[in-house]
Amino acid sequence: MGKPQETKIIIISGPSGAGKTTLLKKIFLRPLIKKNFILAVSYTTRMKRKQEKEGRDYFFVSKEQFHRLIKKKFFLEYQKVLNDYYGTPRYFLKEAQKKRRDLILCIDVKGGMYLKKRIKKDKIVTIFIGVPTQGELSRRLRKRGDSKIIKKRIALAKKELQFAKVYDYLIINQNLQSALKLLERVLITERLQRRRQ
């Protein structure tokens, strides 16, 4: 059977509007991905959007609850993004280790950089999901219609795009099918590489 496999953390970041959520939902329909990876569900203090489900997209909590969880060291990492807090619960890492799978976190660049500094190089992989142009990103964000904070999100997206170069992989999501193919290839390659070590 060989040595037990150690879990790798796969960070996926990119501006909102880049299509990270859609990509992840679709990629987890693929058997090889389902068998080898776990996708962490974060806690957040932001309001639930119409199409979102508690426990599937996020665990929605109040700021008070979130701060209590911080004190209890419940989070592997957490960050304030715009006006809200987002955090990855530690228990997903334990679950991934127990099942000998790799753990995928879809988190912002600050969270990504925080973990990159703290986790051994060979135990972390960073993937940035980008958009073809900034104009295209603004167009996608405006289509979403959460108009009040759209300007803030566009400004944040511009900042986040500057971090793409420090990620291990950059996937430009111009076409969903091609982006999915690339993402799957990266995930499986990383998984196989580690098995051979």
Give me the residues that bind ligand 5GP (CB under 6 A), please: 16, 42, 46, 77-79, 81, 86-88, 106-108, 111
Beta carbon of residue 42, minimum distance to ligand 5GP (angstroms, whole number): 3
**Could you tell me where the DSSP H helices lie in 37-175?**
63-71, 91-99, 109-118, 134-144, 150-161
* Cβ distance to ligand 5GP smaller for residue 46 or 99: 46
Instruction: Give the nearest residue (CB) to ligand 5GP.
Output: 111
Instruction: Check: CB of residue 41 under 8 Å from CB of residue 56.
Output: yes
Beta carbon of residue 77, minimum distance to ligand 5GP (angstroms, whole number): 6
Q: What are phi and psi of 176, to 5 degrees?
A: -55, -45
* Cβ distance to ligand 5GP smaller for residue 2 or 176: 176
* Cβ distance to ligand 5GP smaller for residue 80 or 195: 80
Beta carbon of residue 138, minimum distance to ligand 5GP (angstroms, whole number): 15
Instruction: Check: CB of residue 9 under 8 Å from CB of residue 124.
Output: yes
Instruction: Check: CB of residue 90 under 8 Å from CB of residue 27.
Output: no
Beta carbon of residue 197, minimum distance to ligand 5GP (angstroms, whole number): 28
Cα–Cα distance, 75 to 54 (Å, whole number): 18
